[in-house]
Structure 1
Amino acid sequence: MDETRRFNWLAAGTLLCMLLIGAWIGWARHPRQYRTDPPVASALDQFKLMPDRIGGTPPDVYFAIGKPYEATAFDLSQGKRLYSWFGCSGCHGDGRGGTGPSFLDGWWFYGSEMVSVVASIRDGRPHGMPSYGNKMTSDQIWQLAGYVRTIGSYSPPYTATSRNDDKHTRPSENRAPAAGLFEQGPAGVRSDRGVQP
């Protein structure tokens, strides 16, 4: 009887330790942002673009909240979901391009900075990129921009998403640099291709 009682106490102690460790891991992980406060969302829309609409400056609030759209796994996975949901792969494929430009070849028509990608999604661009400013919230636009930047990044963030079970022709976002697998153009600016990241 004494042996059974000791085993029960040991099992209960082990279970309690596991629950405490699980609670600590859940508490320690990065908090998810389910909805941006309206003043912050409004401030996110106040970024400044250069006169040629290539590059610019993010709003101060973006730095104040810690640039989450580029760094948190939750926001990047939401961006990946939006990429699929809004049919971005219809034009850009899995990042190699198609009707729309490639994200992997090292050339970004309107710059690879976060503000440039956000402006492209929100306002659209000439020659086929539609505006999604009235179809997505500010939060979703920034999440999608963060994900798009991971597709062809030269150094992957540790929070980048992994690949789906579908067939792919490129490495997953967390296995970058995917762009290194493809021929890169000459350094600098090419007027026909845009800016190299």
Structure 2
Amino acid sequence: MKRGPLLLVFAILAVAGCQREERDTRPQSALGSGDQPAAVTALEPGGQRPASSDTKAGVFEANAFHLSEGKRLFNWFNCSGCHANGGGGMGPALMDQKWLYGSSIESIHATIRDGRPNGMPSFRDKIPDDQIWELAAFVRALSGNAPKSAAPSRDDDMMPHPSENRLPDAATLGKSP
């Protein structure tokens, strides 16, 4: 007999727990109702050249110190992981004169800062703008587009011929045996 009231209590609790729960399966988005069209930007390969209102380009491109800092940053950020020491790998080659998005230092700066589709990440707000300019100057120098007054920026193993001070027996040149 004691089981009857206990079973009745459990039955009432089970029936009360089986009521249908109402859920809002599609909550309203925080961005709005979706009636506004999404903003679309056009990416044009080799298209619009970035505005050259910044006078930093010439300062970084013609300065050997900034080129050497760009080289250090190129190695530090492991750019050669994709660009294979300038020769191309997963990313495009940087040693030739054929550039999809333009070979000006402003275009290179825009590519590093904003990134490109299919692999090139954006470094905006990740590294300071001056370091982006140094990287851009070094990348431009890899293809031989840097002014000759600045120091060569390629490593000796990437040069088409050895540097004069790296020639074997440079001290004995001009001396007869």
Say if 2:87 is the partner of 1:93: no
Amino acid aligned to 1:137: P
Q: Which runs of 5+ in 2 are unaligned?
A: 1-41, 165-177
CA-CA distance at 1:153 after TM superposition: 1.8
Residue correspondence of structure 1 range 1-197 to structure 2 within 5 A: 52=44, 54-59=48-53, 61-62=54-55, 67-154=58-145, 156-164=147-155, 168-171=157-160
Cα distance per residue 1:42-87 (max 9 Å; x no partner): xxxxxxxx9735423311x41xx68211001111111000100001
Structure whose alpha-carbon radius of gyration is higher: 2
CA-CA distance at 1:115 after TM superposition: 1.1
TM-score with structure 2 setting the length: 0.59
CA-CA distance at 1:130 after TM superposition: 0.5
Alignment length (residue pairs): 120
Q: Which runs of 5+ in 1 are unaligned?
A: 1-49, 176-197
Cα distance per residue 1:100-138 (max 9 Å; x no partner): 000123211100011110011001000100111122101
TM-score with structure 1 setting the length: 0.53
* Change over 3 Å in CA distance of 1:153–1:72 after alignment to 2: same
Amino acid aligned to 1:115: E
User: Which structure's residues are more often strand, by fraction?
Assistant: 1
The 8 Å contact of residues 114 and 122 in structure 2, kept in 1 or not, is answered as: yes
Instruction: Name the SS of the counterpart of 2:110 in structure 1.
Output: helix
* Change over 3 Å in CA distance of 1:163–1:103 after alignment to 2: closer
Instruction: Name the SS of the counterpart of 2:85 in structure 1.
Output: coil
Q: Identity rate of aligned residues, in percent? A: 45
* Change over 3 Å in CA distance of 1:55–1:108 after alignment to 2: same
Root-mean-square deviation (CA), in Å? 2.8
The 8 Å contact of residues 76 and 146 in structure 1, kept in 2 or not, is answered as: yes
User: Which structure's residues are more often helix, by fraction?
Assistant: 1
